[in-house]
Amino acid sequence: MKNAPNPEAEADCIRRILAGEKQLFHELIRPCERPIYFLLFSIVRNEAEAEDAAQETVLKIYRNLHLFRGESQFRTWALSIARNEGLGRLRKAESRREDSLDALSDDQAGDFTPAILTSWREVPNLALEQKELAAVLRQAIDGLPEIYRNVVLLRDIEEMDVRETAAALGITEGAVKVRLHRARALLQRSLAPRLKGFAPKRGGLFGWAQKSRDKTMRQGEAE
Amino acid sequence: MRINCKHVWEHISAYIDGEVAADLRVEIDRHLETCEICSAVLDSTRNVVVLYADDRVFELPTGFSERLHERLEEEMEVSGS
């Protein structure tokens, strides 16, 4: 898990902040910045608004820190405040949003069949040095219905566990698993054909021939 | 029990997360040994999950953290320190 929090150190830090060491709040909130921003970005889908909402969220967390009861992880509590902030903004902007119109429910039927392939060549993380690959991955997330986007964001991008994701989003652990499964299937299907170009080329005896054929194919492809 | 490709796809996500029951896992592994399609579906799905875990896919906007902490600092001053 990224930035896995230490609950005891956190509880101690919160006690000290409430006792007057306000500057410690900067350190307390730092590990939550990424998930807060990206959860909000997933909800409001606009960079500037997500940043503004993230700032508001952090101020609310600071002002209401005395209300944190330690029944959940601090980050979970912080994320539920972020979620409320994001949903509040969505409701205000409801009329100009189309997202609310295509909101899915968990029991809704859908085609979650993966892309059927026989030859998959792994795309190594090294390929992320190419900015286009990261852009393709972000676009694919952006194309998911919101209920799947939020789950995949917390589970696979921020690497939070099922329990914390469920608590932060106010849904059951079962719903997290179902949504994550569907999200991954949708992502695999939309990405499989687009990721091929980022896989390392096959070497071997006829490596040169493969290489030039790939090149010709790429040039001829519309994608 | 013999499972087919559709069964395997239904459990791919749980399989990747190590959350399928031991006996089902054995069945899936046995299926994967002979099914090229399911192996490729598993590999590609796992690859997608691994790529998304990389921080370079989603980066905070430049200066995000600085602006956030400045605003916090203002709030702390207003509320008195």
Q: How far apart are CA B28 and CA B3, in angstroms?
A: 7
Chunked mean pLDDT (size 10), chain B, 81 residues: 88 95 96 94 95 93 97 88 48
Residue A60 with chain B: CB contacts under 8 Å: none
Tokens of A127: 């390929």
Amino acid at A184: R
The pLDDT of residue A211 is above 70? no
Looking at residue A62, its pLDDT comes to: 97
Going along chain A from its start, the domains and CATH numbers come out as 1-118 (1.10.1740.10), 122-223 (1.10.10.10)
Give A71-124 pLDDT, tens digit per residue. 888 999 999 999 999 999 998 887 555 554 455 677 666 778 888 888 888 899
CA-nearest residue to A55 within chain B is B68
**Which residue of A25, A59, A128 is in closest CB contact with B54?**
A128
pLDDT in tens, A121-177: 889 998 998 889 999 999 999 999 989 999 999 999 999 999 999 999 999 999 999
Integer Cα distance of A37 and A39 in angstroms: 6
CA A155: distance to chain centroid? 7
**Residue count (chain B):** 81
Single-letter residue type at A53? A
For residue B48, give the nearest of A26, A177, A187 by CB distance: A187
* pTM exceeds 0.80: yes
Q: The tokens of A173 are what? A: 């652990």
Which residues on A lie below 8 Å from B51 (Cβ)? 123, 125, 128, 133, 137
The pLDDT value given to residue B3? 87
Of A34, A60, A52, whose CA–CA distance to A93 is shortest? A52
